[in-house]
Structure 1
Amino acid sequence: MGLTDTPPPHVPSWVVPASGALLITGAISWDMCYVLMSIRSHRTKSYGMPLLALALNLSWELIYAARVAEHPLERLGFLVWLLLDVPLVYTTLKNAKHEWRHSPLVAENIGAVLTAMVALGCAANYAVADWWLSAPGTGFGDKSGKWWAGREGFDCTELAFWTAGLAQLALGTGCLAMLLVRGHSGGTSYAIWFCRALGTLTGWIGSTSLLWWYWPEAHGFFVNPMGIFLMTTCLACDTAYPFTLAVVRRSERVLSDGRLVSGISVKQSAAPIVKKRL
């Protein structure tokens, strides 16, 4: 976002293009992540993106492609993401029954569950975008040079930073939690983690940090306590992920059909189960 911004004279002319290049690098990294995740999910008969993160990402991409993006490169990026979402959604719907055996209600209604989550995500993202773009000057600092739909004072960079940050938080924490709960690496790999982490570091953090350093009056939100919390939490999860993945892969088992399961046995409780009468 922000490819149409016109910075003040004190900002070097290369800053906005360089920030855009980092954003594109992040987008390509996420493209690779989506492709690798779909392939790995198919091979291991699992899925690699937590349901909440998938719903948030899909709804974010739908709303921003239709409501916010205006530069051709931005629209192209969202279109590619939406196309790559198709195999992600397919493998999730197809293989969720294996991962949700402990909850038949979810396993048998995964399509309805995901549809409801995406619908709620679309409503939330549309509400935020509509409020943000309803009047100029929304957000942190001076929005001079920030353009949207031919009008000045609308900062889509900050809007995307916050909304994408929440989706990143759900994805980073969700992927780590899912790995720990499952105890196997179905739907994920070191290459997937690397592409995902690189996309976060360049497309979300790197591109915005460059703008903040040279154009702080409009990008002070980057060092806002909430922004710091989002970034440090996501980076912490991405840092811990490969080490957790290494531990999980040492203990997982491969079934005859290619599925992966946890190799750590669950100890049965020594306490007797007593049924209480109501």
Structure 2
Amino acid sequence: MDPFLSAVSGLAWTIVYIEAIRIGFRHKTYAMPLAALGLNIAWESTYAVRDLTGAMSLQGVVNIVWALADLAIVYTFFAFGRAEFPRFVTRPMFAVFGVLVFGTSYAVQWLFLAEFGEHGAARYSAFLQNLLMSGLFIAMLVARRGLRGQTLTIAIAKWLGTLAPTISIGVIDNSPFILGIGILCSVFDLVYIGLVVWAKRHPEALAAADTPTVAPAAETSAQRGVPA
């Protein structure tokens, strides 16, 4: 991977994690969609361990730093995330669901390794989970009806952090698959950036989303207290 583009990607993703930790504690929520968080920490810790047991590389050191940052975001999920779920989801149900998602994320990463080998698995899984994350950030904004746990800094840094390896691997290394998935990531990332900018300028529009748009049905005779 091109050293300059690798540095851009590493810096951008580090900014994403630092900002996600900061805003997560500030807003008392988790700042990365759950499925994306699970896949992220599974990817980074898996490849960090493989680097630790082999020849240590710069990327291996970066993976360790990212995995530690992800642990902080995981903490915000378990500490504050219950409030993002419906009331019928009890604290034990929430904890079990979280553990299930993180366990499944590790299983998916290891299945990629078994099927494609380390070189292919690292690239394919990273870009596919990035595409998933790009869509989930949009879904999170919609579900939360606002920017709770989200910032423009995260949106832009996430886009640049994925764009750099898309150019390096997809264009310079001539990988059509990575290029295609990377372009799709950019499409969703740019849509999300636009939505964040719009939400910052028009918070009242998001608040209005809670207001019913359909008039309530006319009262029946019984409801009005009139005999049928």
Q: TM-score, normalised by structure 1?
A: 0.69
Query: Could you report, residue by residue, the CA deviation over 1:200-231 in whole angstroms, capped at 9, with x for unpaired residues?
Result: 111x212213532xxxxxx4xx224xx45422
Out of 161, 170, 173, the residue aligned to residue 209 of structure 1 is 170
CA RMSD of superposed structures (Å): 2.5
Out of 198, 204, 207, the residue aligned to residue 247 of structure 1 is 198
Tell me if the contact between 1:96 and 1:107 (Cα under 8 Å) persists in the aligned partners: no
Other-structure match for 2:38: 55
Displacement of 1:105: 1.7
Tell me if the contact between 1:106 and 1:113 (Cα under 8 Å) persists in the aligned partners: no
Q: What amino acid is the match of 1:245? A: V
Q: Report the count of equivalent residues.
A: 214
Percent identity at matched positions? Answer: 23
Q: Distance in 1 between matches of 2:106 and 2:137?
A: 22
Other-structure match for 1:114: 98
Tell me if the contact between 2:166 and 2:179 (Cα under 8 Å) persists in the aligned partners: no
Tell me if the contact between 1:46 and 1:92 (Cα under 8 Å) persists in the aligned partners: yes
Report 1:76-225 matches (<5 A). Answer: 76-100=61-85, 102=86, 104-105=88-89, 109-133=93-117, 156=119, 158-202=120-164, 204-212=165-173, 219=174, 222-224=175-177
Measured at CA, do residues 267 and 99 of structure 1 come closer, stay the same or move farther in structure 2, by a change above 3 Å?
same
Query: Could you report, residue by residue, the CA deviation over 1:241-270 in whole angstroms, capped at 9, with x for unpaired residues?
Result: 1221123234548xxxxxxxx522330652
Q: Distance in 1 between matches of 2:3 and 2:116?
A: 22
Any gaps of 5 or more consecutive residues in structure 2?
219-228
Q: Distance in 2 between matches of 1:106 and 1:81?
A: 31
Measured at CA, do residues 30 and 229 of structure 1 come closer, stay the same or move farther in structure 2, by a change above 3 Å?
same
Any gaps of 5 or more consecutive residues in structure 1?
1-15, 134-154, 213-218, 254-261, 273-278
1:231 is aligned to 2:182: yes
Measured at CA, do residues 71 and 130 of structure 1 come closer, stay the same or move farther in structure 2, by a change above 3 Å?
farther
Other-structure match for 2:223: none
